Amino acid sequence: MDWKAELKLKFRARCRLGEPLSAHTTYKIGGPAEVFLLPEKQSEWIELVHLARLRKLPLTVLGLGSNVLAADVGVRGLVCSTKGRGDFEICGDTVKASAGAALDDVVRAAVKAGLSGMEKLSGIPGTAGGAVWMNAGAFGQETFDKLSRFYALDSAGRSVRVRKEDVKYGYRRVEGLEGMIILSAEWQLERGDGKLLRKVRRETLKTRAEKQPLEFPSAGSVFRRPQGDYASRLIDEAGLKGLKTGGAQVSEKHAGFIINTGGATARDVKKLIEEIQTRVKLKSGVELELEQVLLGDFSG
Ligand SMILES: Cc1cc2nc3c(=O)[nH]c(=O)nc-3n(C[C@H](O)[C@H](O)[C@H](O)COP(=O)(O)OP(=O)(O)OC[C@H]3O[C@@H](n4cnc5c(N)ncnc54)[C@H](O)[C@@H]3O)c2cc1C
């Protein structure tokens, strides 16, 4: 039996051949995953890492797909979604979440429990694992602020416990995570004023709805914030608000976002990204660096 048939037999409905990634990304864009899997147990993840090594297959981890642009031709190998395991719990002042837990659910529960340190992360539409992977943040607060440790598999499928002190991290960046699969994370929060925390959460969500084009599919900010400036300001200054390539458009509401106005392809988005980079460089001399992660082959 070939490896795909074996996976299908083992994972049943949690293994899908040719699953469209457009169903698993917030851009609602992306071709088929060669094999899409929803592992639940750690042993299943380990098995998949071993299989990928043995067969020399690429293994791509996907959370809620809110920071990725998946190629129209799809993604080769194994695309493993963490959505199969989304539990989390609060024990005293500690928050423990599996990688696939929706970050906003975790934040909401922490706020409800009167715990402070994650409230400004309200509304980030990714998973706990995805947030750790890139140190997601907003309004001056970052995932790593109160993170104490996370549990992961290394590229050989060995379990590792990584303490915050063991990694170098900064603005939307964590070093040394290549090939690692984050399985769960823990935050040590502080007791706060419940009423105030709920107010901060409400206001954070309100500001997001006012400033971000949440009515369209997107993957949030396309570019990293350049030193001392904002990508959205530079894009606006270059007169690019509303610029369109196919179904992809620079949002009129927030120039840092590219939205899918309907039927956009990954190629449309990629072309628009390159156009923005060229025109911002011409106007202000700044080279905008991509924050979103490209999955699959964009060479065609
Ligand atoms: C409307 C909107 C608003 C947003 N606002 C913000 C914001 O304010 N601040 C912010 O920081 N981001 C924001 N984002 C971007 C996005 O939500 C975050 O980057 C989020 O952390 C991505 O999580 P995810 O689970 O969706 O990851 P994915 O998009 O699925 O994956 C992103 C990368 O992380 C890797 N990855 C994901 N999970 C794991 C894991 N368990 N182990 C190893 N690697 C993993 C993937 O391989 C990929 O390289 C926004 C996005 C949208 C659509």
Q: Is the pLDDT of residue 300 over 80?
A: no
| pLDDT score, position 201 | 98
Instruction: Provide the residue range defining the domain that includes 15.
Output: 3-84
- Residues 182 and 280 occupy one common structural domain: no
How many domains is the chain built from? 3
| pLDDT score, position 1 | 76
* Average confidence (pLDDT) over 213-237: 97
Domain assignment present for 48: yes
Question: CATH code at 238?
Answer: 3.90.78.10
Q: Which of 81, 132, 84 is nearest to 106 (CA)?
A: 132
Which residue carries 């129209």 as its tokens?
A: 72
- Residues 50 and 130 occupy one common structural domain: no
* Average confidence (pLDDT) over 126-143: 98
Pocket test for ligand 1, best of 62, 64, 67, 145 (most atoms within 8 A of CB): 67
Q: Is 220 in the pocket of ligand 1 (CB under 6 A)?
A: yes
Q: Is 99 in the pocket of ligand 1 (CB under 6 A)?
A: yes
* Average confidence (pLDDT) over 133-161: 98
Domain assignment present for 19: yes
Q: Is the pLDDT of residue 235 over 80?
A: yes
- Residues 99 and 119 occupy one common structural domain: yes
| pLDDT score, position 266 | 98
Q: Is the full-model pTM beyond 0.95?
A: yes
Domain assignment present for 208: no
Q: Where are the beta strands (DSSP E) in 23-73?
A: 32-37, 59-62, 68-70
Q: Is the pLDDT of residue 15 over 90?
A: yes
* Domain final residue, candidates 45, 66, 84: 84
Q: Is the pLDDT of residue 202 over 90?
A: yes
Instruction: Clarify whether 203 is annotated catalytic.
Output: no
For residue 72, the CA-to-ligand 1 centroid distance in Å is 20
What is the 3-state secondary structure of 52-68? Answer: HHHHCCCEEEECCCCCE
- Residues 191 and 243 occupy one common structural domain: no
150-197 pLDDT tens trace: 999 999 999 999 999 999 999 999 999 999 999 999 999 999 999 999
- Residues 75 and 92 occupy one common structural domain: no
Question: CATH code at 32?
Answer: 3.30.43.10
| pLDDT score, position 51 | 98
- Residues 128 and 194 occupy one common structural domain: yes
Return the SS3 of 271.
Answer: helix
67-85 pLDDT tens trace: 999 999 999 999 999 999 9
